[in-house]
C-alpha cells in the first residue's frame, strides 16, 4: 500500500504544478475565449436593398469564411498558452539488473517540460493581437461585400431605368415613323427620313435586347453575393439613387486615418511585432523540466535481506542551457526586422489611402457636376425641345429630320443623366469603402462638406 502511495506522489506534484500554471494565465485565457463571433438572425429575402444587405450578411460565403477564420484564430489561444504534453515512458529490462535488494525488472518515467515563467503569458499577448487582426479582416470582408452589393444594386437600377427610357423612346419613335411614312406618302418628305426613323427604331430594339441581357448578368452578380440561385428574379422595390452630401477631402482623409480597417490592421501589425520582440527575449531564457521515475524491483535471492524487493522512486529536475548565443540573437533580430517591415507597411497603406481617396473623390465630384449639369440645364432644354417636337408630330408640321434629331438628343440626355446619378451613388459607396464605414459619423460631428 505504501509503495502505491509513494508511486503517485511525484505525479501528484507535477499535476499540482500544472494547475498552478493554468491559474497563472487563466484570466487571459478566459478573456480570449470570451470573444464573441457575430451570428446573424434570418432575414427574409426580397428586393429591398436593406433586406438584401442583411441577407448577404447572413448567407454570403466570403463572410461565412471570414467568420470561421476569426473563430479559428480565437481557438489558437489555448493551444499557444498551454504547457507541452508530459511524457510518460515505460522501460522493460530484457536482462534484469541485479541489485542487492533484488533484480530490477521494469521502470516508469514521467517528465513535464515548461518554459521560463512569463513566456506563455507573452505568447498569449501575441495571440491576442492575432485575434484582433482576424476581427478586422472579418470587418473588411463584410465592408467589401456590402459595398459590392450596393454597387451591383445601383447598376441594376440603372439598367432598369435605361430599359424604361428605351421603351418610352420606342413608343415615341413609332409615332415619328408613322408621321414620316405619312409625309412620304404625301410626298412631303424624302425616303431618307423614313429610312432614318426605321434605322433608329431598329437600333433601339438592339439596345433594348442588350440592356435586358446586361440586366440578367447583373442580376446573377447580386444573386451570387446573397448566395441565391443565379437566375432568381430580382425586383428592386425602392429604386432610389441617393445624392448625399460629402465631407471635404481633408475631413475624409482624417476620418480614413482613424477608421479605415486596412490602416487599423497595419497598426495592429506594429503592435504585434512589439509583442513578438518581447516574446523572442523570453524564448532565449532557460526551460525547465521536472519528472519522476519508479523502478519495479523483484525479491532478492536472499529473502531475509533487508529492504528486499524495495522499489526505488526518483525525482528528477532539469534546466535547458541557452548556450548558442548566435541563434538567440538571431531570434531577436528576426523579430525586430518584422517590426520594421510592419512600420513600413503601415506607412505604405496610409499613402495608398490618400491616393485612392483623391482618385475616388474626383470621380464623385465629377459625377455630381454632371448630375447638376443635366438636371439644371441640359435636360430642361431637351424636354422643351421634345415638347415642341411632339407638338409638331401632333399637328403634322415640322421636319422629320428635326423631330428625329430632337428625339435622339432627348434619349441620350436622359440616359446620360441616369448614368451620372448611378456613377455618383457608386462613387459614394467607394468613398465609404476607403474611409472604412458610413460617412454619417462625419456629419454627426458637425463637419461641413
The pLDDT tens digits of the residues spanning 21-65 come to: 333 443 333 344 344 444 333 333 456 778 888 999 999 999 999
Buried/exposed 302-320: b ≥16 CB within 10 Å, e otherwise: eeeeeebebbeeeeeeeee
Instruction: State the DSSP string of 17-28.
Output: HHHHHHHHSHHH
Q: Look-up: residue for cell 516574446? A: 279
User: How far apart, in whole angstroms, are the C-alpha atoms of residue 124 and residue 32?
Assistant: 9
* Neighbouring C-beta atoms of residue 323, cutoff 10 Å: 7
68 compared with 175, residue with greater pLDDT: 68
In this predicted structure, what is the pLDDT of residue 216? 94
In our burial notation (b when 16+ CB lie closer than 10 A, e otherwise), range 336-349 reads: eebbeebeeebeeb
As a whole-number percent, the residues of the chain with pLDDT over 70 amount to 82
Q: Among 46-50, 143-147, 304-308, which stretch is predicted with the lowest mean pLDDT?
A: 46-50
Q: Which CATH class is domain 115-285+326-444?
A: mainly alpha
Which residue ranges make up each domain of the chain?
A: 115-285+326-444
Distance (Å, whole) CA 59 – CA 224: 10
Alpha carbons 139 and 144: distance in angstroms, whole number: 9
The pTM (predicted TM-score) of the whole model is 0.80
Q: Which residues, including other chains, have CB under 8 Å from residue 296's CB and lie 6 or more apart?
A: 104, 105, 106, 107, 108, 311
pLDDT tens readout for residues 396-424:
666 667 777 787 888 889 999 999 999 99
Supply the mean pLDDT for the chain.
Answer: 83
Note the Cα 222 to chain centre separation in Å.
18
How confident is the model over 110-134, as pLDDT tens digits?
A: 999 999 999 999 999 999 999 999 9
pLDDT tens-place string over residues 193-224: 777 778 888 888 999 999 999 999 999 999 99
pLDDT digits (tens, 9 = 90+) for 37-47: 443 333 334 56
- Three cell numbers, residue 253: 482623409
Amino acid at each position: 500500500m505504501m509503495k502505491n502511495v509513494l508511486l503517485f506522489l511525484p505525479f501528484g506534484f507535477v499535476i499540482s504544478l500544472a494547475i498552478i500554471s493554468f491559474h497563472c494565465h487563466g484570466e487571459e485565457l478566459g478573456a480570449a475565449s470570451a470573444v464573441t463571433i457575430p451570428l446573424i438572425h434570418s432575414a427574409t429575402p426580397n428586393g429591398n436593398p436593406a433586406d438584401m444587405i442583411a441577407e448577404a450578411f447572413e448567407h454570403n460565403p466570403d463572410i461565412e469564411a471570414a467568420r470561421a477564420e476569426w473563430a479559428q484564430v480565437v481557438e489558437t489561444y489555448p493551444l499557444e498558452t498551454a504547457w507541452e504534453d508530459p511524457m510518460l515512458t515505460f522501460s522493460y529490462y530484457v536482462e534484469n539488473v541485479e541489485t542487492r535488494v533484488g533484480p530490477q525488472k521494469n521502470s516508469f518515467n514521467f517528465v513535464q517540460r515548461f518554459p521560463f515563467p512569463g513566456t506563455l503569458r507573452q505568447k498569449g499577448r501575441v495571440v491576442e493581437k492575432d485575434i484582433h487582426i482576424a476581427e478586422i479582416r472579418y470587418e473588411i470582408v463584410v465592408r467589401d461585400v456590402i459595398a459590392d452589393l450596393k454597387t451591383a444594386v445601383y447598376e441594376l437600377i440603372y439598367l432598369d431605368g435605361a430599359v424604361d427610357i428605351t421603351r418610352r423612346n420606342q413608343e415615341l419613335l413609332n409615332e415619328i415613323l408613322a408621321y414620316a411614312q405619312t409625309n412620304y406618302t404625301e410626298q412631303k418628305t424624302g425616303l431618307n427620313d423614313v429610312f432614318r426613323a426605321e434605322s433608329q427604331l431598329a437600333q433601339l430594339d438592339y439596345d433594348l435586347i442588350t440592356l435586358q441581357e446586361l440586366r440578367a448578368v447583373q442580376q446573377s452578380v447580386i444573386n451570387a453575393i446573397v448566395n441565391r440561385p443565379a437566375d432568381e428574379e430580382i425586383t428592386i422595390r425602392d429604386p432610389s439613387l441617393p445624392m448625399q452630401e460629402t465631407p471635404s477631402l481633408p475631413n475624409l482623409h482624417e476620418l480614413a486615418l482613424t477608421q479605415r480597417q486596412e490602416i487599423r490592421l497595419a497598426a495592429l501589425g506594429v503592435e504585434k511585432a512589439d509583442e513578438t520582440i518581447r516574446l523572442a527575449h523570453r524564448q532565449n531564457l532557460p526551460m525547465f523540466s521536472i519528472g519522476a521515475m519508479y523502478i519495479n524491483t523483484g525479491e532478492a535471492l536472499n529473502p531475509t535481506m533487508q529492504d528486499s524487493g524495495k522499489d526505488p522512486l526518483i525525482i528528477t529536475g532539469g534546466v535547458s542551457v541557452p548556450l548558442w548565443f548566435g541563434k538567440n540573437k538571431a531570434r531577436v533580430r528576426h523579430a525586430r526586422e518584422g517590426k520594421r517591415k510592419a512600420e513600413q507597411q503601415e506607412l505604405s497603406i496610409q499613402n495608398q489611402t490618400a491616393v485612392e481617396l483623391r482618385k475616388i473623390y474626383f470621380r464623385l465630384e465629377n459625377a455630381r457636376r454632371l448630375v447638376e449639369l443635366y438636371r439644371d440645364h441640359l435636360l430642361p432644354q431637351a424636354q422643351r425641345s421634345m415638347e415642341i417636337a411632339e407638338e409638331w408630330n401632333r399637328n403634322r408640321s415640322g421636319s422629320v429630320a428635326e423631330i428625329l434629331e430632337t428625339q435622339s438628343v432627348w434619349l441620350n440626355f436622359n440616359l446620360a443623366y441616369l448614368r451620372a446619378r448611378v456613377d455618383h451613388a457608386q462613387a459614394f459607396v467607394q468613398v465609404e469603402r476607403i474611409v472604412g464605414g458610413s460617412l454619417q459619423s462625419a456629419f454627426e460631428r458637425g463637419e461641413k462638406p
